[in-house]
Chain A
């Protein structure tokens, strides 16, 4: 069939229907509908069957009563008396049927004009059609009847028309059908409503996420406030978007910072090389310039390595090289590594470390973290006005299943407002701008602590800064 241009087939509707048929909501409502319909038909069917049984019982008990009456008459006055009574009763309007026939089946008396021939052949209970009254009335009726053999081969038929019963039966049947239809209709409508409503919400969510994916990263899913599963899903998706946004912002910040902070050494590197080309007269001068260039590049390489390390740790790559080591020993070794440097800067380095501070983790990274803390303490922990004790304390203790590595100095400290900020990458407080460094030290420590499931705390050492790196201790 080719669709005419005038009336294109309702593709949209079909697609929509197809989509609805595929939805979970639709499948669920269909399942409920089927279940409900089955239960309803069972219930209604039971009621209908029971009603029919009651009606049949009623007819049968009426017939039995008639027969009891007639058989009394028959016993009392024989066939003649029975015929008289039947004749009288047959004239009364009503649903009761009577017939007395000869042994050959000829009509003697009664209000039944026609019967199926085989009924009279044997006594018993039948349900069949019959003819009534005058021959003009050719209409067929149905009845329940009982046939008896009387003395001398005569037959007695007593019955009751079932018209009323059939009407009731039909009414029950109709009620049953329409009730079921109504149930199904309501189920379909309800299911449709739920399905389309849910579907619409899910569609909205899909649509929103699509626009978000297309670049509208500030977009959020609507939360209806119903607190249902879809709302919870939307909330979680929104939280996820928040997190992604944070990461994106972080990435952007990092790349901006990298661009900014690496530009300076790169420019310096270039200038140095350039100047050497232009001015260096002697091989020695060139050599010195080139060595400077190499030093600058080494610095750059170190920044890149630190950046890579932080990025990797923050990506949560749990290192394979997790081992069991003594964090106290690491702290002592690193302190010993930095001790001469501290001394050169006129700082005394005090070490106070408990034995057996066993950790499960990455020894290299913990060492690097302590090194960074010490490096900072040495760089920034010296006061220009030597008013107080110029000392750095490295201590390590275990408390409540946590190993606390603490590096404290007596320097200017960090104002409370800025303590959070210094953990970010490339953040260098103005006071530190003039010193060498890239502002990656503390963010690396923070990354190491996160990786180990620990925490990092910057506190006032009154005066000075105390940094505590708390790491969960290994199982003893």
Chain B
């Protein structure tokens, strides 16, 4: 995917550019709000990563300006403040996702990839009513889950967890993302609660099958895949 990183801290920007390039993405960088705005308007980017505190044009104003110009490129806002409120402000300004500093790069990468996917998934199309990953199928209307034709009974929360994983099949989703989208909370759960939920789901989905589908990506999160991972 093509990314634009608008970040004034040179070191942080260099690190991000390098890390995203290593992850196989094309990255541009702007060092202040005005340059960022100009690039974002002209360039065709999949995701914009915008720091909240920028010289010349502050990050939230930048996002608002873009939205007024009807530029709908997904925006992920980075903030040094990390307040619950900042998230609200950032999303109100037209941001699509929000990550407080300090963050783990894996978290940023996962969220950026999800945002990019959201953009490429034919815009404006309503969400699918059913997902299929390998021989695993989930029907959102009948709330049924089958693997290789065999029905799997899930608790409502487990169903939502699986639904989120399958909607982002092949993409790493972090524990925080799961907590946000499946439970609708943005706090730090202190312990590995999400892991316990995922392992229960995994027990139901993968038990008795030769190939596990839900994979743990160490230091990052989880990914659901039909096939064995190919180590890069």
A interface residues (Cβ-Cβ under 8 A, vs B): 291, 294-295, 297-298, 301-302, 304-306, 308-309, 312, 317, 319-321, 333-334, 336-338, 340-341, 344, 362, 364-365, 367-368, 371-372, 375, 378-379, 436-437, 441
Contact = CB atoms under 8 A, between A and B. Distances in A.
A344 B192 CA distance: 12
B230 to A, nearest CB: 15
Contacts of A309: 82
Given A291-B218, A320-B85, A320-B89, A337 B100 contact: no
Nearest to B184: A333
Given A334-B185, A337-B189, 17 more contacts: A291-B219, A294-B104, A294-B106, A298-B219, A301-B103, A302-B188, A304-B102, A317-B83, A317-B85, A319-B85, A338-B193, A340-B193, A364-B187, A368-B185, A371-B189, A378-B191, A437-B190
Interface of B: 82-85, 87-89, 100, 102-104, 106, 157, 179, 183, 185-193, 196-197, 200, 218-219
Contacts of B188: 302, 305-306, 368
A371 B84 CA distance: 16
A319 B190 contact: no
B231 to A, nearest CB: 9
A365 B84 CA distance: 8
Contacts of A321: 84-85, 87-88
Contacts of B88: 320-321
A340 B104 contact: no
A301 B185 contact: no
A305 B82 contact: yes
Nearest to A319: B85
Given A337-B183, A340-B196, A297 B104 contact: yes
Given A333-B183, A371-B187, A344 B84 contact: no
Contact of B82 (A308, A340, A372): A308
Contacts of B183: 333, 337
A341 B106 contact: no
B185 A344 contact: no
28 contacts: A291-B219, A294-B104, A294-B218, A294-B219, A298-B104, A298-B219, A301-B103, A317-B85, A319-B83, A319-B84, A320-B85, A320-B88, A321-B87, A333-B183, A337-B189, A337-B193, A340-B197, A340-B200, A341-B191, A341-B193, A364-B84, A365-B84, A365-B187, A367-B185, A368-B187, A371-B185, A371-B190, A375-B191
A375 B190 contact: yes
Given A305-B82, A344-B196, A372 B219 contact: no
A373 to B, nearest CB: 10
Contacts of A298: 104, 219
A343 B116 CA distance: 38
Contact of B189 (A291, A320, A336, A375): A375
Q: Give the 7 A-B residue pairs with the shortest CB-CB distance, closest first.
A: A368-B187, A294-B219, A375-B190, A291-B218, A340-B196, A321-B88, A320-B85
Interface centre among A309, A320, A340 (most CB of B within 10 A): A340
Nearest to A294: B219
Contact of B102 (A301, A319, A441): A301
A304 B104 CA distance: 13
Contacts of B193: 337-338, 340-341
